[in-house]
Structure 1
Amino acid sequence: MSEVVDVLYRRAGTARFAELRALVSARAIRTALADGAIRRIAKGVYALPPVPDPLAAARAQGGLVSHLSAAVAHGFSVLDLPDKPQITVPRGQHRRLSPIPCDLHWADEVSSDGLCTGKLRTVLDCARTLPFEAALTVADSALRLGAVDRSQLLIAAAELTGPGSRRARRVAAAADARAESPLEFVLRSVLIEAGIDGFEPQVVVRDGTFSARIDLGHPGLLIALEADGFAYHSTRTALTRDCHRHVNLTLRGWRLLRFSWEDVMFDRQWVVTAIRAAIAGSPGHHNVLEIHGHRGDAFAG
């Protein structure tokens, strides 16, 4: 069911049945519909259900929009939109009766930016409570936008105590302003979780009249990783330009591994196995890697 929701997120909240069916099973669509995770808005057209207004929820509870809801309000990239507004209220305050459903959090003192938690506080809240890849997506985006300074993030994370403090420090240490897209943020988190080092965001390869940027590059091993979204090749011109780029990188000794949104989101073990195989096959690297998994035949020979 989560795959159906993810596909709809990727298509700005709506999709036709044929578009969904090309990526997920009919059973998953029926289950998501029955559970209320998606809704039918016209014959053969599905959409995500509307989310209550977080500002209205904050006013109703006498608190602040926080966590993922605040991240969205601040314009940060998020891996998943919250299904309910996330609100923080002063510790000791009881939940108020309200027709607006929300996820409530409590805190002693919270910096505010209007009716939202402050940008730094929002990143820290997400870092404390979200899975690593989702938290890193918010932190990378905040740094890239210049909304948060990395040194301030590191200091603030180091001063945290209580639940999620260690998780927040890990996110702060890994956050990087150079990463550009949510899919790239997640691919970076996959590498970090797997303990694969040496890959840097947005590596520039420049040689004479040729110049290209790589989503994640290992300058020492000349391995390039690209995270391609669904509409990466929207035109034939774009496809031709990318083919030229790929050839030029290959001529300069780079090996390019490209992963789709489905690979990064749903088949991370295969992604890790592929990258480790590329590392093992690099000049000067003598490890031998036996590949297992349903895509192992892609590396045969």
Structure 2
Amino acid sequence: MSDVVRFLTQRGGFATRGQVLEATGRAQFDHAVRVGHIVWVSRGRYGLPGLDLDVLTAHGLRAVLSHTSAALWHGWEVKTLPGTTHVTVPRRRRLATPPTAVVHRSDLGPDDVVGGICTSAHRTLLDCLRTLPADEGLTIGDSALRHGVRRDVLTDLGATVRGPGRPSVLHVVRHADGDAANPFESCLRAIALQVEGLDVRPQLRIVGSRATVRPDLVDRRLRIVLEADSFAWHGDRAALRRDSRRYNLLVVDGWTVLRFSWEDVMHDPAYVLDVIRRVVDARTQVLASTGRPA
């Protein structure tokens, strides 16, 4: 896997040209475009190939893009790029499902479809949040807000959702945050939300004694920082040195800094959860012993 493809995969399938150039360099970017490893998506944005195939699949089945395929169509990043195209067809319609598609059945209304090819933002969020695991749902909720979906769309979902999947929808409605930087960070926050007593917020500014930094996730009360450390942000030695210095300065100022790799967050969340819980317990005991509110 090339560095450019790895970078886009870790960002949920999309990135701006500037982001790709900063992470991988001009030569690798140009090569990836030339050989078709990445494709132009919209003004200044590039993505992994396959999105156009989703549209062709939906057209061929006389269906509507839905669920994670619809999220990608709207330009939202996802935790994991789907290997098949998700579409929705009317409940009573007979359809031989090809191996390249996952068919969902629902009688969509006129307001549920945009462009004649994809479920609306409101319907896409409802479908995704009902059916996806917590980390994938939070990733899409964060991304939708980050890319311009109004908060009241999620609020309306929370007020009107009924039936299966309602708790999952309400969880994302409560915690989705447009300040989240990327799917990696969203997935780390989804794990942190399972830890009692921890209240992390994305991209909060910390004014330290020697520097002002904006870590990925911050709990001000416990003075805990969680960092999603990825190749995408440490593409060269200068970036690694810069971040190492800022982490050290946070520790000097009394913060506990936990750094997690993309592989652990995505593939070994139990390890990540255990580490965070142990640190939260330790910090809570320290606060209690010093008489500060725990």
TM-score (normalizing by structure 1): 0.73
Per the alignment, residue 243 of structure 1 pairs with 244
Per the alignment, residue 58 of structure 1 pairs with 58
Identity, % of aligned positions: 38
- Give the counterpart letter for 1:267 in structure 2: D
Distance 1:77 1:135, change over 3 A: same
CA distance in 1: counterparts of 2:4 and 2:197, whole angstroms = 31
Per the alignment, residue 287 of structure 2 pairs with 284
Structure 1 unaligned regions, length at least 5: 14-47, 287-301
Per the alignment, residue 213 of structure 2 pairs with 212
SS of the equivalent of 1:226 reads strand
SS of the equivalent of 1:72 reads helix
Query: Does the CA contact (< 8 Å) of 2:51 and 2:72 recur in 1?
Result: no
SS of the equivalent of 1:198 reads coil
1:9 Cα deviation from its structure 2 partner: 7.1
Distance 1:153 1:251, change over 3 A: same
CA distance in 2: counterparts of 1:83 and 1:189, whole angstroms = 23
1:219 Cα deviation from its structure 2 partner: 0.3
Q: Residues 48-91 of structure 1, C-alpha deviation per residue, up to 9 Å, x if partnerless?
A: 99788221222222221111111111111111111211111223
1:208 Cα deviation from its structure 2 partner: 6.8
1:38-77 mapped onto 2 (5 Å cutoff): 53-77=53-77
SS of the equivalent of 2:203 reads strand
Per the alignment, residue 159 of structure 2 pairs with 158
CA RMSD between the two structures:
2.7
Higher relative contact order (CA 8 A, sep 6+): 2
CA distance in 2: counterparts of 1:234 and 1:61, whole angstroms = 42
CA distance in 2: counterparts of 1:161 and 1:183, whole angstroms = 30
CA distance in 1: counterparts of 2:52 and 2:143, whole angstroms = 24
1:198 Cα deviation from its structure 2 partner: 1.3
Per the alignment, residue 298 of structure 1 pairs with none
SS of the equivalent of 2:258 reads strand
Q: Residues 206-234 of structure 1, C-alpha deviation per residue, up to 9 Å, x if partnerless?
A: 24762110111110111100011134322
Deviates more, 1:99-108 or 1:171-180: 99-108
The number of residues matched between the two structures is 245
Per the alignment, residue 121 of structure 2 pairs with 119
Query: Does the CA contact (< 8 Å) of 2:97 and 2:103 recur in 1?
Result: no
Structure 2 unaligned regions, length at least 5: 10-47, 290-294
Per the alignment, residue 133 of structure 2 pairs with 131
Query: Does the CA contact (< 8 Å) of 1:64 and 1:117 recur in 2?
Result: yes
SS of the equivalent of 1:203 reads coil
1:130 Cα deviation from its structure 2 partner: 1.0
1:141 Cα deviation from its structure 2 partner: 0.6
- Give the counterpart letter for 2:107 in structure 1: D
1:273 Cα deviation from its structure 2 partner: 2.0
- Give the counterpart letter for 1:90 in structure 2: P
